[in-house]
Amino acid sequence: MLKKINLLLLLVILGACSHQVQNTNTVSNVETTVPSDPFLWLEEVEGEKAIEWVKERNEKSLKVIKNHPKFEALHENNKAIYNSDERIPYVGQMNGYLYNFWRDETHVRGIYRRTTLAEYRKEEPMWETVLDVDALAEADNENWVYKGMSCRYPVYDRCLVNLSRGGADATVVKEFDLESKSFVKGGFFLPESKNSVAWVDLNTVMVGADFGEGSMTDSGYPKITKMWRRGTPMMDAPVVFEAKQTDVGIWPAVIYDGDDAYKFIIQADTFYTRSWHILDDSNQSKALDLPKDINLSGLIDGQAILELKSDWQPAAITFNQGDLITISFTDLLADKKNFKALMKPDASTSISSVSTSKNYVLVNTLKDVSSVMYQLSYDNGQWQTETMDLPTLGAMSISGTSDKNDDVFINYSNYLTPSTLYYYNATTKKAEAIKSLPAMFDKKDLVVEQHFMTATDGVQVPYFLIRKENIAYNGKNPTILYGYGGFEVSMRPNYSSIVGTNWLEDGGVYVVANIRGGGEYGPAWHQAALKENRHVAFNDFIGVAEDLINKNITSPDHLGIIGGSNGGLLVGAVYTMRPDLFNAVVCAVPLLDMKRYNKLLAGASWMAEYGNPDIPKEWAYIKTYSPYHNLSATKEYPKVFFTTSTRDDRVHPGHARKMAALMESMGHEYFYYENIEGGHGGASNNNQAAYLRALTYSYFWHQLAP
């Protein structure tokens, strides 16, 4: 269903869905010799020497962090939170059932289960287990981590289940019968791979996978899509589309508008640009005549909904970056240009997401980083827009819709308000709170403030500050500053039981910086920090840190920063630029060697964000911030805590390993923890997540407490 396609596309390009296999016993996509890099051997993910190095650093670091007086209490607290039954079971709708994936102390790997709406409304609903991943792992003698399933629309009789070994992005795909709740003997099966699959009918799927030499792009995603019929060898299936070697990848999709189905191939030539190819009955493709950076965000009542990432003048009317526009799908296929504006956000507003129900388009916007939601309907050739009556000053997200009804599940939270799940009917326009979390920490003396830091170019950069109401502004408050600043990802207000119990309750200050590079104010906010302008994100983050110090909320001795993935690059760059500002850095699953990032795992797919280090003029600006290339033996640095995972097949663990080794060679102290499994999230189950968070906050208390 189209309402899920754009999120899926983003996730697969990021690597959050399942794709090509990586041989974890060797270096991935590594040049044969790089004599200037003395730590290249640490890129051998499961090399004996590299693993021994990891184990030694783990042991040395854990001796200190786990011995902090707070660690055991934090660990037990976190396990209780992650495994608590006091969580909202978020659901997806399929064929009259509500489906949920659930992990707890008993179901460590998790169960996929279902119930009815009437039952779900109850305080303790009865669930029917559909798939027990713990039992499956035991039966298969595999370390399975559930990575989701794709079920055949609209009958939902068969599903393709994605199973990862140890949390990697690469998955094994098995066909599952949703009615008998069992795997299909002799059904569709894909060996471990970074893949992309879409149902066409009961006996046909479009599939992209590692078919052998030449079938994957430089980014490690499928280059070829085949039309695979049941009962025939996948390798013999006919090719219906082939991308370029330099493309990020291609993803098949079957999009429905009512009973009408359309087969698409989404060809991503970069992370942010793509072409939409529609297949006819003979599987011949035609590219839609659209800008490559546009998002096809909805298809309803014969109308296509599109989001603009840049200004566009298809005909007489000029549309602005960030606008939501529409056109008849028939006209779109005929290359007509009679587009109309559907929503035009103002300077303080951006479109966060677009979803569809049976009769409505649901638009989630951010106004100064807080959600405001609208519902749009198409009737007699006209569009109507209404504001949805929902709470304000927080973050909302749609967690479940269906093209078969107008029932919508919407989650709301803010920094001090636990998540509340609303059942909203778009026809009656009534919202009902049906699930809510209990308060997991005492908010009585806590306040949330939104501040705006004036950047050096005059731009107002917002950040949220959560603190005890009566703290002394004496520069001694232990403070954690979090940021991301990339890929148009917005840092919205959300309730975190871990932050509350591990940090805020004991007097810690927590800050979230909405720096450029994110999507808080739309595409322009993101594009301001792309490629040669990457320093904008770093300088915004530094500016927020300086603002906190200037306000005497904290001081360099008591200020720590944290970021993961692209956020790991952020904090890595910032601490090498301004080590004088910080006394703690958690650099999680990071990119750090920006000379080689595009040669490791999924790195080549991110060159539209960072640039290509193999092009001299682009390396000229990348090298100015690449943490691995800007570390100095003569500077003093905070004692950084690097965390990563051996099974992360998205951001290579070699980044964290090599940076730590380089610091060690220069005589700089650091902490290091590498989970042997866990994937890009760093943890593959609740217990591992609880342990990692306990390490993180024990480290912060160790470094920042007065």
How far apart CA 571 and CA 64 sit, in angstroms, is 22
610 by DSSP, 3-state: which? helix
Longest pairwise C-alpha distance within the chain: 72
The backbone torsions φ and ψ at residue 613, rounded to the nearest 5 degrees and listed phi first, read -70, -10
Among residues 565, 605, 645, 698, the one annotated as catalytic is: 565
Helical segments of 464-533, H only: 497-502, 523-527
Comparing CA positions, the residue from 103, 190, 107 lying closest to residue 150 is 190
46 by DSSP, 3-state: which? coil
The backbone torsions φ and ψ at residue 470, rounded to the nearest 5 degrees and listed phi first, read -110, 30
Here the tokens at position 271 are 């992370």
Among residues 18, 680, 684, 702, the one annotated as catalytic is: 680
Kindly report the length of the chain: 706
Strands 370-379 and 382-387: antiparallel
How far apart CA 261 and CA 405 sit, in angstroms, is 18
Distances (CA, A) of 263 to 286, 401, 466: 11, 22, 47
| DSSP at 638 | -
| DSSP at 569 | H
How far apart CA 306 and CA 661 sit, in angstroms, is 47
Question: 94-108: b or e for each residue (b if 16 or more CB lie within 10 Å)?
Answer: bbebbbbbbbeeebb
565 among known catalytic residues: yes
CA geometry: angle 635, 646, 560, nearest 5 deg: 35
Residues 100 and 89 sit within 8 Å (Cβ to Cβ): yes
What are the residue numbers of the active site? 565, 680
